[in-house]
């Protein structure tokens, strides 16, 4: 999958891939390209650039021994965000006990947490995405026992969890940049991320790890930390903000901006 913002970048990326393939002796069976627009309504499904067009548009890939289903006909997103690879590895290594995965999409974070022995709650407005998440669980031999899949608006659900004292030791906050929630409520990460984190802190156990992630270009890791410090202080909590190296194939300025908030 080659994601690009313009034709010049696409050409450069294809030439680079061809050069790397020649040097490594490995070549992809199929190459899909995806245009990255500035506005959501301009999004289109990935396009087959090269390879056998008669092959199914669904497949299964393996990352660090974990299997995930991909569907290139499902729309703009095929099912797995590669820039979260290192964070998936961190979640599994942390071996959490109770995980809240908001805006869960196809539940990849829930899968690695479950493989590490955690109970999980995956929340997403899209039932279709959660069904794909269930399929990812099945691909890895995981049953649904101890795992909840909630087709709900995260902003509506979080206060009810606080009321039930349903708390977690690892929380994933990876919201879309723009969306519409229940009752047509407009979500925009620049205005609403702070409120989301504050609500999540209400259900964060001591020693909870919270992953903040966004594709909004106005939020880099420094801006995320600044926002997180305000939220943590407002809730009379304390936290650490460790820095981790980014994957070599996603240098600074590419992929999602992320920050781990380690609540004390």
H or E, element range at 211: strand 204-214
Whole-model pTM: value is 0.91
Q: 242-251 burial, b if ≥16 CB within 10 A, otherwise e?
A: eeeebbeeee
Segment 199-215 shows an average pLDDT of 96
Q: Which of 175, 158, 185, 153 is nearest to 219 (CA)?
A: 175
Categorize the per-residue pLDDT at 241 as very low, low, confident or very high, splitting at 50, 70 and 90.
very high
pLDDT of residue 249: 75
pLDDT of residue 177: 85
32-59 residue pLDDT tens: 998 988 776 777 889 999 999 999 999 9
Q: Where are the domains of the chain?
A: 2-55, 82-263
CATH 3.40.50.150 fits 82-263, yes or no: yes
- How many CB atoms sit inside 10 A of residue 75's CB? 13
Categorize the per-residue pLDDT at 251 as very low, low, confident or very high, splitting at 50, 70 and 90.
low
Lowest mean pLDDT among 5-14, 32-41, 97-106: 32-41
Greatest mean pLDDT range, 38-47, 162-171, 201-210 = 201-210
């Amino acid at each position: 999958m080659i994601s690009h913002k313009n034709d010049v970048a696409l050409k450069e990326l294809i030439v680079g891939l061809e050069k790397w393939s020649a040097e490594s002796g490995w070549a992809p069976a199929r190459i899909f390209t995806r245009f990255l627009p500035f506005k959501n309504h301009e999004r289109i499904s990935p396009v087959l650039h090269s390879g056998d067009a008669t092959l199914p548009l669904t497949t299964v890939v393996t990352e660090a021994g974990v299997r995930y289903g991909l569907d290139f006909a499902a729309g703009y997103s095929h099912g797995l965000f590669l820039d979260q690879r290192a964070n998936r590895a961190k979640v599994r290594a942390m071996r959490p006990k109770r995980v809240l995965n908001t805006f869960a999409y196809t539940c990849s974070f829930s899968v690695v947490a479950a493989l590490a022995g955690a109970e999980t709650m995956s929340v997403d407005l899209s039932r279709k995405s959660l069904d794909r998440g269930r399929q990812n669980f099945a691909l890895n031999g995981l049953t649904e026992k101890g795992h909840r899949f909630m087709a709900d608006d995260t902003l509506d659900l979080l206060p009810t969890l606080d009321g039930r004292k349903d708390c977690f030791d690892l929380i994933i906050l990876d919201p879309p940049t723009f969306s519409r929630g229940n009752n047509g409520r407009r979500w925009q990460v620049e205005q609403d991320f702070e409120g989301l984190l504050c609500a999540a802190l209400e259900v964060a156990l001591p020693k909870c790890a919270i992953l903040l992630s966004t594709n909004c270009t106005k939020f880099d890791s420094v801006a995320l930390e600044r926002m997180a410090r305000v939220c943590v202080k407002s809730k009379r909590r304390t936290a650490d903000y460790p820095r981790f190296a980014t994957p070599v194939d996603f240098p600074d300025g590419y992929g999602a901006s992320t920050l781990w908030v380690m609540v004390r």
